[in-house]
Each structure stands twice: as structure tokens, then as C-alpha cells.
Amino acid sequence: MLGQVSGGRSGLCFLIPGQFVVVFCLSAVLVAEAQAARSKVVSEVHCFREGHKGNLVFLHGMSNRFSLIQESSSFKTIGKIAKKLKVCAAAPRSALTCSGGKKLCWNMYRKKEKVQRLLQAVTKASSHCLNPAKPVIYIGFSNGGYLVNKWAQWCLLKAPDALVSIGAAGSLPGGVTKGGHCSTLHLMASRQEMVFEQARAYFQNFQQRIGNIVFKTYRGGHRVPYMELKALLGQLIEPDNSQ
């Protein structure tokens, strides 16, 4: 897990254990804030309060000590986007585990009720970071993207809230709910990652069965793409004045 080294208005730093010691800092410029969320689902939430034009909630990928640098980089990317777009953002960390308790993840429940409870827990834990007067865009990366896909399949969010899934390719079999005001799923995949063909097939299947989906590609492998994601979010937050 990330070890908190220091915090406060001067910035927030994390110690990443492993063979080499790496310290990742969320600077005061990003106005990052880690707060404990008393929940069985969320362990803590990092806040980026950069404006009031909209809200972002970012769900990280499956995490172990080898992927913490990527997770830290993803959090930093979300903070940069929040600053550029002048929005509030929340980055909750899961308290759930998988792979025999060795990894933090967002569990892939098959029952709609359990998936819905995950959404409610994430929303509640993130609420102190956000502007209640504005819609929320939920962004899931990798394992977090699979959870976002589930929310879209079961129409658990309504427009104008939106969903963005990055680097995740499933899953559709099982529960699917159609609705007139379901949030649109924006599926993003890199042509350089292994799940690209699966993601494209998932898009086609989703489009045929539900319809509320947009497919976008980016370069650079399995990561959170700054430029492409910023452009998409700018368009969703201010459709008539996109970045």
C-alpha cells in the first residue's frame, strides 16, 4: 500500500515500498488531500479542488506494490486535468482485495445489487470532494474500468452524469438494462495494449444490445492518457466550449 509520508497544505507525499524507495508527492499546486473514508469499500479519498465547473471521480486499476508507481502517475494525471478544466476531482482507493488478498481491486460482483452498493459507497466516500450542484463523470481505469462498464450495463447512472472506461474490455453477459436516460459510456482503449481487440468487440456488442456507447482510441499502451482524456472530459463538461 501507499505509505503516507507527509501531508497538509504544503503537499501530500507517499512512500512506495519495494526494492527501491520511491516518494511520490501530490504538490500544493494540485491541492491534493487524503482523507480517511470510514467504509468497507473505500480506504481513503484524494481530493483535487481546482474549480466548480464539474466533478470527476477516478477509480484506479488493480493495485499491488509493483503497480503503485502507475497508480500514483494516474492520480497525478487526474489532478492535472482537474486543474486545467477547473473542476473538482476525487480519487478513492479501494479497501477491497482480490487474488487471495494480495491486491487491492474493485470487486467484479455478478449481482446487480452488489454492484449498485459499490456505486453508492464510492459516491458517498467521494462526496466531500465534489460540487453537489454539478453532474459527476466517473472514470475507471483497467480494473476500475470494468466496474464502470457494469454500472453502464445496468443503467445505474442517469444523464447528465457520464461514464468513462479506460483500458477495460468487458463484461456484457448477464445483466443488461436499457433505459431512455442512461448515462453514456465512453470506452477508451489504446491500440498498443493487449485488450484492444477485446475492447473493440465489447464496444460492438454493447452498441448492439444497449446503444449508449462511444469508442475512442489513444496511443501509448496501458495508461491514463492525459491529452485524450482531457479533451474528452472538456467536451463532456462544457459541450459548447470544449478544450
- According to DSSP, residue 27 is labeled E
Distance of CA 71 to the CA centre of its chain: 11
* Closest-CA residue to 90 (of 120, 31, 123, 45): 45
The CATH class for the domain spanning 30-237 reads alpha beta
Torsion of CA 128, 132, 135, 138, to 10 degrees: 10
Q: How many CB atoms lie within 10 A of CB 113?
A: 8
Start-to-end C-alpha separation, the chain: 35
Say if strands 32-36 and 103-104 run parallel, antiparallel, or are unpaired. Answer: unpaired
Q: Give the relative orientation of helices 112-126 and 143-153 as an angle to the nearest 10 degrees.
A: 110
Tens-digit pLDDT string for the chain (243 aa): 333 333 333 344 444 444 434 444 443 333 333 333 345 889 899 999 999 999 999 999 987 655 567 788 899 999 999 999 999 999 999 988 887 777 888 877 778 888 899 999 999 999 999 999 999 999 999 999 999 999 998 899 988 899 999 999 877 666 667 766 789 999 999 999 988 999 999 999 999 888 889 999 999 999 999 999 999 999 999 876 544
